[in-house]
Chains A and B, each alone.
Chain A
């Protein structure tokens, strides 16, 4: 069935460091891919999405490219800030089922000043 695997955390970086959080997926059909972010005490917020192969989603300096050949959707940011500290979830929907999201286990990011 459809699934998402993302790197385990926590990831601890210094401010202005480069961030990569790996995400790979398994899906039949043509899924859409998402990154959600959860700040402490808050719900899940959409960070970015990509709906077809080679699409790049971007928002707030974060980027991820939908790579069908490697079934990946890695999240990157060139220079992280303390305010980026949160839990990041990779997710997919579509494939054979457009009615629910499949989430990865989440990666906690801690950014130190």
Chain B
């Protein structure tokens, strides 16, 4: 069964450093998403991406964040200068059609710890 994969599973970084979280969505999907979950809190939407551009972003997704689809398979989230409050689990998701009823398939997550 096709699945979304994410690497690394755990990333530890120093405050102010840049991190890149990587995702490989399901191969025939067209819509890609990043969510985050701060420990003990809700899963929060960060950004959606379609046709090589951002289609929507939340207020969390400020200038420190960027996304890219550098090739036909990877989808990355970059945080330019990490803050302590960026420590969270980051989930990548993809969907086929992006329509309201369409299931989003989630990866296992990357736990980011900022020291």
Give chain A nearest CB distance to B44 CB in angstroms. Answer: 8
Question: How many interface residues does chain B have, given as a range?
Answer: 20 to 34
Known: A89-B43, A100-B48. A43 touches B91 (CB 8 A): yes
Tell me the count of chain A residues lying within 8 A, CB to CB, of chain B: 27
For the complex, what is the distance from the CA of A100 to the CA of B6, rounded to whole Å? Answer: 19
Task: Please tell me if the beta carbons of A45 and B45 are within 8 angstroms of each other in the complex.
Answer: no
| CB proximity to B under 8 Å, residues A71-113 | 89, 91, 93-95, 97-106
Q: Measuring CB to CB, which residues of chain B are less than 8 angstroms from any residue of chain A?
A: 4, 6, 31, 33, 35, 41-45, 48, 55-56, 58, 91, 93, 98-101, 103-109
Chain A residues within 8 Å of B, Cβ to Cβ: 31-32, 34, 36, 41-46, 49, 51, 89, 91, 93-95, 97-106
